[in-house]
Amino acid sequence: MENQKTIMITSDLPPDFIPFNRPHLAGPELEYIRQAAASGKLSGNGMFTQRCQQFFEQDYGIPKVLLTTSGTDALEMAALLLNLQPGDEVIVPSYTFTSTANAFVLRGARIVFADSLSDHPNLDVARLEALITPRTRVIVPVHYGGQPCNMVALLSLARQYKLWVVEDAAQAIEARFLNRPLGTFGHLAAFSFHETKNLSAGEGGMLAINDADLATRAEIIWEKGTNRAAFARGESARYEWVDIGSSFLPSELNAAYLWAQVEARTIIQQQRQQLWETYAKALAPLAAAGAFGLLPALPDSQPNWHIFALLCNSQTERDDLLAHLREQHILAVFHYLPLHRSPYYTPRHDGRPLPHADRFGQTLVRLPLYHELQPEQQERIIEAIRTFYEA
């Protein structure tokens, strides 16, 4: 018998280190993964995939839901579904993650960047119309931090100009606008179940197909361009290649983990709300004194407590605050570099200044916010911020 070697994984992090995020284990995840393995089907679209999809279809009122390997894949599926051609234009906020734009760039589209609101990273819907040209095909609103864009005004504009709307709801699971789940307004919507999100599959995502006319083709694209799902249901006599597509299905292991999170969503959301409100109450006096800004609650919204962010008064202050927190063994982060400033897209941008996106890129700080964050840890974070600003 070969010698068995033990692999030791060590960490140089101090014992009191507070990470930015820690994946949550609701309880049944490992048992559900065991059940998935015992079922003999791990490759996707098994019982846990179907449970998750049926839940969101029924609870959110979505005609068709497909789990994906990531939120990025959900966006890429959306771009495929809409038959984008080289030279088509897609309006995207500059202040977002690369996947929002990259999914459409992969189809040859030209990205037209929208600026943020003056007081919130979401795109400024009031300035969208000026960006629309005869080549515009799609508007992609991003619900930053689970706070909604004004979808009433945006959809009115999209109808007027006959444009597709793809909601980037990566951060918006369980958030609402006008008492309706985000991700149910556009023709399509992409969600993320990355480990940093409220509900996690480790890596995972979901495409919401709100336009029922797109549902059949979406399932084909999801299954590598084949009619495999319809064939498995006995709806097709042959299993064959019928369209373009790719391998967008997640493993049943990811779906099993996600199902445990979906079952625990109420407890998860309550804990996140409690943590968020503790930050807000403790830091409000400093914000009122002008030490930093806080993101406002947007009208007609029910947030999902995904992000708690500070808006520093300058980039230098932001960098100094992050360094101060690191010295206290606390990891806070900034994001994003606005995409119109990115090395890849700057040469392709039309040169319009986007001052609000720039300001958020220079000043926004995200504080640790995850289910297992303990009261004494959160108090350490708050005290470190007070120390920085009161020094």
> What are the pLDDT digits (tens) for 60-97?
999 999 999 999 999 999 999 999 999 999 999 999 99
Question: What are the Cα distances from residue 145, in Å, to 42, 170, 191, 257?
Answer: 32, 9, 12, 23
- In this prediction, residue 5 has a pLDDT band, given cuts at 50, 70 and 90, of very low
> What are the pLDDT digits (tens) for 8-29?
455 688 999 999 999 999 999 9
Question: What are the Cα distances from residue 54, in Å, to 202, 249, 269, 335?
Answer: 20, 15, 21, 34
Q: Is 377 exposed, middle or buried (0-12, 13-18, 19+ CB in 10 A)?
A: middle
Amino acid code (one letter) for 116: S
- In the beta sheet, which residues pair with residue 189? 167, 208
> What are the pLDDT digits (tens) for 36-64?
999 999 998 999 999 999 999 999 999 99
**Structure tokens belonging to residue 143:** 């619900």
**Structure tokens belonging to residue 289:** 């004194």
> What are the pLDDT digits (tens) for 345-363?
999 999 999 999 999 999 9
Contacts of residue 23, defined as CB under 8 A and 6 or more positions apart, other chains included, come to: 195, 200, 202, 370
Give the pLDDT score at 11: 66
> What are the pLDDT digits (tens) for 266-321?
999 999 999 999 999 999 999 999 999 999 999 999 999 999 999 999 999 999 99
Give the pLDDT score at 326: 98
Contact 166, 184 (CB under 8 A): no
Helix, strand, or coil (residue 138): strand
Domains, in order of start, for the chain: 29-263 (3.40.640.10), 265-390 (3.90.1150.10)
Name the pTM for this structure.
Answer: 0.95
Nearest residue to 89 (alpha-carbon basis) of 105, 69, 71, 78: 105
**Can you say whether the dihedral through the CA atoms of 121, 123, 125, 128 is positive or negative?**
positive
**Which H or E element spans position 105?**
helix 98-105
Contact 226, 207 (CB under 8 A): no
User: How many residues can be counted in the chain?
Assistant: 391
Give the pLDDT score at 236: 87
Question: What are the Cα distances from residue 92, in Å, to 127, 163, 284?
Answer: 12, 13, 32
Give the pLDDT score at 59: 98
Average pLDDT along the chain? 95
**Structure tokens belonging to residue 96:** 């977002």
Give the pLDDT score at 368: 98
Question: What are the Cα distances from residue 143, in Å, to 89, 95, 101?
Answer: 20, 11, 14
Dist CA 193 CA 212 (whole Å): 23
DSSP assignment letter at 17? -
Axis-axis angle for helices 265-288, 252-263 (nearest 10): 70
List % helix, strand, coil for the chain (3-state, nearest 5). 40, 15, 45
Residue 152's CB is within 10 A of a number of other CB atoms, namely: 14
What mean pLDDT comes out for the span 375-382? 98
What mean pLDDT comes out for the span 2-11? 48
What mean pLDDT comes out for the span 327-348? 96
Dist CA 356 CA 343 (whole Å): 19
What mean pLDDT comes out for the span 244-271? 97
- In this prediction, residue 3 has a pLDDT band, given cuts at 50, 70 and 90, of very low
DSSP assignment letter at 146? G
> What are the pLDDT digits (tens) for 155-206?
999 999 999 999 999 999 999 999 999 999 999 999 999 999 999 999 999 9
What mean pLDDT comes out for the span 224-234? 90
